[in-house]
Amino acid sequence: MPSEHSEHQKTQNALQQVFDYVSPGTNEGISFSLSRLTDDLFTDSFLGGGDISLFTPSGHRGSIRSQLSHGYVLSSSGGTPAQFPIDLAVDLTTGRGSGSWTLPSGTAQSPTFGLQQVKTVNAPEGTMLLFAGETSSDDAVYSLALLLI
């Protein structure tokens, strides 16, 4: 079983990999998917994604921010999932994610969550990085996948 120190080091290495990829501004971009699981699957749990290629240099590694991204909440009646805009930022120095969205029910949310690197896969399409939300400000469970295109 990995130690907390080795898990932290893996996460820092993954965040450095994202920084090394996005900071020159010469690569194609980063796609993401975000899942949020709560005790109510049909009200405030969702799956979302989009582009998270907007890089802001600051601190040790800067941050990335999403643009034109959407979340989807399942319908309890089996109908079409409800779509809503989401904003996501990841601080590549601290390993914290922060989101901002208004659910279809009208509930505005701005959670933060810590990231822990789970897996890296190198594929012909690009490098895929999977993070788990280690802690969160709203008691939800998060996962974040990044595809360095």
Domains of the chain: 4-148 (2.40.128)
Tell me, what's the pLDDT at 11? 94
What is the 3 state secondary structure string of 42-98?
A: CCCCEEEEEEEEEEECCCCCCEEEEEEEEEEECCCCCCCCEEEEEEEEEECCCCEEE
Q: How much is the pTM?
A: 0.91
Q: What is the pLDDT of residue 6?
A: 78
pLDDT in tens, 102-141: 999 999 999 999 999 999 999 998 999 999 988 899 989 9
pLDDT digits (tens, 9 = 90+) for 37-80: 988 888 889 999 999 999 999 889 999 999 999 999 998 888 89
